[in-house]
């Protein structure tokens, strides 16, 4: 039961933390709850579909197809997070300007809401498909499946709780610093997801590894430990990264930062 | 090269046994074709000598896979169990679901010499290690 709880906790944790961050980052945008719920719903449907396809030995999702799908999901999420951050960077300025002038509200528009929906759907789909497959595996295994079912529920609940705690924690940040904190969180989250995508593209043979285990920091922080896992989700911590992952991580950081600060350079 | 075919067809004709050489003949055309196709397909699907890790009775067999340094290797994971597994390695950044009674392949390397651990994310008691050894002649 404990093993089941831990496995589901791990699967749910990543999606829960990502949703907590994007929920925080879109604070104050009307109807965001509806869009995030929609994203969770779409993600669950997608997860069931992916799990079904990945469990069929003859399908396109055995092997390379699976790796490429994962890479696609992750890169879509990276794209949406980038869009969100860039949009928020200019939106925050616009917001300040308009508040100074007339004190009016700024229309949020639907752009960051689409990004919110897609990031949520992608996060739920990726982790959810693994959770569904795992649950199916224990259900098919029979035996102690009822105690394992309880374990699964406990694991899911703790994972969701972690997301709620992160969200509550974010809300305690003073409003003055709030959006810059969420922007930095999203920046590193996106870089980490991008590095994971590079791993999948290399796994399928589409990109060179440029060396496995360029460095090894397992001695200081084991990726299996809880803090290692948390940092892996939040900032893409990898104890033994491959070269291509480091390239993707840094490139993503630089591209998003450039896009976020570009309008400011122009106006200077 | 000597080829030995296991006889499993009907006993229309008794197998001939020559001195110092055992030849068992298959008289069912179907069986011979199936074997021939099997040999060809298994040769085509993967590069020569692609290492195979089998999942059997909730264990990786072998649980230590040796590959050469500096070479990109395609590894095949074959799941003989009735439940899916997720082959995962933090050290190699690999992650792939292996369906029940299914098989998947993926690339590893080129990598420096060393030990790279892997596990089944659906059953963390199942562990193994990829050992990358310096190629012959290199020290």
Each residue's pLDDT, cut to its tens digit, for chain A (268 residues) gives 788 899 899 999 999 999 999 988 887 777 788 999 999 999 999 999 998 888 876 667 777 889 999 999 999 999 999 998 988 887 766 654 544 454 334 455 556 788 889 999 999 999 999 998 888 877 776 556 678 888 899 999 999 999 999 999 998 988 778 888 989 999 999 999 999 999 999 999 999 999 999 999 999 999 989 999 999 999 999 999 999 999 999 999 999 999 998 866 555 4
Alpha-carbon distance values, B126 to A147, B32, B65 (Å): 21, 38, 14
B97-137 tens-digit pLDDT: 998 889 999 999 899 999 999 999 988 899 999 999 987 65
Strand partners, A188: none
Q: What percent of chain B has pLDDT over 70?
A: 62
Instruction: Flag whether residue B94 sits within 8 Å of chain A, measured between CB atoms.
Output: yes
Instruction: Flag whether residue B97 sits within 8 Å of chain A, measured between CB atoms.
Output: yes
For residue A22, give the nearest of A187, A253, A251, A229 by alpha carbon: A187
Which pLDDT score is estimated for A198? 97
The pTM score is: 0.82
**Three-state secondary structure call for residue A242:** coil
Q: What is the mean pLDDT of chain B?
A: 74
Q: Are A203 and B112 within 8 A, CB to CB?
A: no
Q: Are A57 and B93 within 8 A, CB to CB?
A: no
| Separation between Cα atoms, residue A122 and residue A125, nearest integer Å | 5
Q: Are A133 and B84 within 8 A, CB to CB?
A: yes
Out of A64, A134, A223, closest to residue B90 by CB: A223
Instruction: Flag whether residue A66 sits within 8 Å of chain B, measured between CB atoms.
Output: yes
Which pLDDT score is estimated for A109? 54
> Nearest-CA distance from B92 to chain A in Å?
6
Q: Scanning every residue of chain A, which has its alpha carbon at the shortest distance from the alpha carbon of B76? A: A63
Instruction: Flag whether residue B78 sits within 8 Å of chain A, measured between CB atoms.
Output: no
CA-angle at A192, arms to A187 and A14, nearest 5° = 100
Q: Are A209 and B91 within 8 A, CB to CB?
A: no
DSSP letters, B29-57, are HHHHHHHHHHHHHHHHHS-TT--EEEEET
Instruction: Flag whether residue B7 sits within 8 Å of chain A, measured between CB atoms.
Output: no
Q: What is the DSSP letter of B14?
A: P
Name the phi and psi angles at B89, rounded to 5: -140, 120
B10-53 tens-digit pLDDT: 444 444 444 333 333 333 444 444 444 444 344 334 555 689 99
Alpha-carbon distance values, A11 to A127, A146, A202, A207 (Å): 5, 20, 23, 26
Q: For A137, how many CA atoms within 13 A lie in the half-sphere containing its CB? A: 29
Q: For A142, how many CA atoms within 13 A lie in the half-sphere containing its CB? A: 1
Which pLDDT score is estimated for B135? 72
Do B50 and B76 meet the contact criterion of CB atoms below 8 Å apart? yes
Query: Hey, CA dihedral for A101, A107, A111, A114, is it positive or negative?
Result: positive
Q: Scanning every residue of chain A, which has its alpha carbon at the shortest distance from the alpha carbon of B121? A: A7
């Amino acid at each position: 039961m404990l093993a089941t709880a831990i496995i589901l906790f791990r699967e749910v944790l990543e999606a829960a933390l990502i949703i907590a961050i994007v929920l925080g980052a879109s604070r104050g945008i009307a109807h965001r709850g509806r869009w995030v719920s929609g994203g969770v719903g779409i993600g669950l449907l997608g997860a069931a579909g992916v799990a079904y396809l990945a469990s069929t030995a003859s399908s396109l999702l055995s092997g390379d197809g699976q790796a490429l799908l994962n890479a696609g999901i992750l890169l879509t999420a990276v794209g949406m997070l980038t869009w969100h951050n860039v949009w928020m960077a200019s939106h925050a300025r616009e917001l300040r300007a308009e508040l100074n002038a007339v004190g009016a509200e700024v229309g949020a528009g639907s752009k960051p809401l689409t990004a919110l929906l897609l990031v949520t759907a992608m996060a739920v789909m990726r982790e959810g498909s693994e959770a569904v497959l795992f649950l199916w595996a224990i259900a098919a295994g029979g035996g102690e499946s009822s105690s394992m079912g309880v374990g699964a529920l406990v694991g899911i609940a703790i994972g969701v709780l972690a997301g709620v705690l992160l969200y509550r924690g974010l809300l305690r940040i003073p409003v003055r610093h709030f959006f810059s904190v969420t922007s930095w969180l999203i920046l590193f989250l996106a870089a980490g997801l991008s590095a994971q995508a590079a791993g999948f593209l290399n796994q399928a043979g589409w990109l060179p590894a440029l060396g496995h285990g360029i460095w090894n920091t397992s001695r200081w922080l084991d990726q299996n430990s809880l803090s290692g896992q948390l940092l892996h989700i939040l900032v893409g911590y990898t104890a033994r990264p491959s070269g291509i992952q480091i390239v993707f991580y840094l490139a993503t950081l630089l591209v998003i930062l450039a896009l976020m600060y570009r309008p400011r350079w122009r106006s200077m | 090269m000597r080829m030995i075919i296991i006889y499993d067809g009907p006993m229309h004709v008794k197998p001939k046994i020559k001195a110092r050489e055992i030849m068992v003949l298959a008289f069912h055309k179907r069986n011979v074709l199936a074997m021939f196709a099997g040999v060809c397909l298994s040769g085509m699907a993967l590069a020569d000598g692609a290492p195979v890790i089998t999942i059997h009775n909730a264990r990786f067999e072998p649980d230590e896979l040796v590959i050469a340094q500096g070479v990109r290797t395609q590894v095949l994971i074959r799941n003989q169990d009735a439940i899916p597994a997720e082959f995962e390695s933090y050290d190699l950044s690999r992650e792939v679901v292996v369906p029940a009674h299914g098989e998947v392949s993926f690339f590893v390397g080129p990598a420096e010499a060393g030990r790279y651990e892997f596990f089944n994310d659906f059953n963390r008691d199942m562990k193994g290690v990829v050992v990358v050894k310096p190629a012959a002649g290199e020290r």
